[in-house]
Amino acid sequence: MILSLQYPVSTAWINAKIIALLIYITLGTIALKRGKTMLIRITAWGLAMLVFIYILGVANTKNPMII
């Protein structure tokens, strides 16, 4: 096992990615399973795609405040 000796709560961009990942998973379950209407599912899918793009941006820049 390799340890990086970094704690997720000590780095802001890692925190942002973890929180965004949880939001992405929640939106994905709404889009695929829990959405009651087609409009809710499509909206959740679109928001999940935006969150995914945010995760990629944070991973590339290591800055949680990408614009």
| Cα dihedral 30, 58, 16, 18 sign | positive
- Assign 3-class secondary structure to the chain: CCCCCCCHHHCHHHHHHHHHHHHHHHHHHHHHHHCCCHHHHHHHHHHHHHHHHHHHHHHHHCCCCCC
Does any domain span residue 47? yes
User: Which positions of the chain have pLDDT values less than 50?
Assistant: none
What pLDDT score was predicted for residue 10?
75
Range of the structural domain that residue 51 is part of = 11-61
Does any domain span residue 41? yes
Does any domain span residue 5? no
What pLDDT score was predicted for residue 67?
66
Tokens of 11: 């780095």
What pLDDT score was predicted for residue 11?
83
